[in-house]
Amino acid sequence: MPSQVRLCNQLAAALAAGALYRTKVEYSTARNKTLERHAMSWLYEMRRFTDQQSLSGVARIVRRGVARQAVSHGLELCPSHGAKKMFGILNSNPWLTSLLAHHVVPRGQSLLGNFRLRNWASQTESSVIGGQSSRFIRDISIDIGDLIGSFGNRPPASIAALRKAIVVFITRTIEETVTPPHSASSITPPSDYNMLSKLMREKVEKTAGLVRNDVSFITFNYDTCLEFGLVRRSLGVDYCLGEPFIDPAEERLSTAPARAEAARLDQLGSLPQVQQDHPNGNRAFMKCHHDRPDGYARCST
C-alpha cells in the first residue's frame, strides 16, 4: 500500500510538472506570437538576451562587425531572427547604423532600464501571488504587503522602497513615452487632444447657456496633454485642489506688480512646466517667478 501511495504521489508530481511545462510552453508561444512583427520586437530580443546573459551572442555580433557602436554604448543584442534581420539592414545602411548608435540605442537603454525595474518587481511579486503578471495585480500585492509588513523574502523596511520604485517606474515611463509636439515657442497638444479641445471650445461658444465651467473632464491619464489642449484653446484649467477657476483671458490682461503676480501664481498651481523644460530653451514659453527664477513657473498663454 505505501508503494502505491508513493507511486500515486510520483504520478501526481509528474502530471503537475507536465501541466506546468505545458503552461510555460503555451505562454511562450503566445508571447512570441504577440510580439511577432511587433514594432518593438527588437527591444524584446534585447531584453531576452540580457535575461539569458549569453555572452556568446555578443561575441558573434562583434565578429560580424556591424554593431560595434551599439556594443560600445553598452547595449547587448540577441542574435536571434529579429536581430539578424536588423543586422542585415544595418550592414547595407551605414546611415541607419549611425542613427541606431546615437539615437535609438540610448533610448532603448533607457527603456531597458524600465524593463529591468519591472522584471525586478515582477520577480518579487511572482513569489507571492504565483506569477500573475498584471501590473495592477502587482501593485495590489505590494500595497497589501506594505500593510501586513510581509512581501516574499523582502525585509519589511524595503517594501515601502518597492512602492516608491513603482512611482519612479511610472514617472520615467511617462517621460520616455509622452513626447508632445512642439513649435519654436511652445509645446502643443497631440492631434487627438487638440481635436478634443477644439470640439469643446466650439460647443461652448455655440451653445446658449453653456459656459466653460459646465464642462468637466475626469481623466485617469498620467500625462498633461489634455491640459495642453485646454490651455491652447484658452479654456483654462482647474485641478480642483482648492484654487479658484483661472481664466486665461484675465491672466493675459493682468498688469499686476510682482507681489500680486506671485499671489496669482500661488492660485494658479497648475501646469508644472518650467522654462528649461522646453526643448529649445525658449524663454517665451514660460514666465518664471519674478522673485524666484528657479521656482514656480506658469505657462505664458
Partner 1 sequence: MDTPGARLNLGSRIVGKHHGCGAPLEHEPAIVRPTWNKSASTRGLESVWQRAATEIGSAENIIVNGYSFPKTDMFFKYLFTLGSHSDTRLESFTVINGPKSAALKTQFADLMGTHEFGRIPTTTNSCLRDRTTSSRTSWPR
Query: Interface residues with partner 1 (CB under 8 A)?
Result: 134-137, 139-140, 142-144, 163-164, 166-167, 170-172, 174-175, 178-183, 187-188, 192, 195-196, 199, 203, 207, 209-210, 216, 218, 220, 222, 224, 239-242, 262-263, 265-266, 269, 272-274, 276-279, 289, 292, 294-296
Cα within 13 Å of Cα(57), Cβ side: 20
Task: Determine the Cα–Cα distance for residues 125 and 116; give it in Å rounded to an integer.
Answer: 14
Non-local (6+) Cβ contacts of 194 within 8 A are 188, 229, 232
Structural contact between residues 289 and 265, judged by C-beta atoms closer than 8 angstroms: yes
Neighbours of 65 (CB within 10 A): 9
- Residue 241 or 253 with smaller CB distance to partner 1: 241
Q: How far is the CB of 93 from partner 1 (least distance, A)?
A: 22
- Residue 97 or 224 with smaller CB distance to partner 1: 224
Neighbours of 115 (CB within 10 A): 17
Q: How far is the CB of 144 from partner 1 (least distance, A)?
A: 8
- Residue 58 or 170 with smaller CB distance to partner 1: 170
3-state secondary structure of 67: coil
Structural contact between residues 300 and 292, judged by C-beta atoms closer than 8 angstroms: no
Sign of CA dihedral 216, 275, 170, 110: positive
- Residue 37 or 206 with smaller CB distance to partner 1: 206
Structural contact between residues 162 and 171, judged by C-beta atoms closer than 8 angstroms: no
- Residue 116 or 290 with smaller CB distance to partner 1: 290
Q: How far is the CB of 68 from partner 1 (least distance, A)?
A: 27
Q: How far is the CB of 163 from partner 1 (least distance, A)?
A: 8
Q: How far is the CB of 23 from partner 1 (least distance, A)?
A: 22
Listed as own residue / partner, the contacts of 70-77 with beta carbons closer than 8 Å and 24 or more positions apart are 70/100, 70/101, 70/105, 72/101, 73/101, 73/105, 73/106, 73/109, 74/109, 75/46, 75/105, 75/108, 75/109, 75/112, 76/46, 76/49, 76/50, 77/45, 77/46, 77/49
Q: How far is the CB of 273 from partner 1 (least distance, A)?
A: 6
- Residue 64 or 264 with smaller CB distance to partner 1: 264
- Residue 158 or 207 with smaller CB distance to partner 1: 207
Task: Determine the Cα–Cα distance for residues 95 and 118; give it in Å rounded to an integer.
Answer: 33
Backbone angles phi, psi at 286, to 5 degrees: -125, 145
Q: How far is the CB of 235 from partner 1 (least distance, A)?
A: 16
Q: How far is the CB of 29 from partner 1 (least distance, A)?
A: 25
- Residue 64 or 251 with smaller CB distance to partner 1: 251
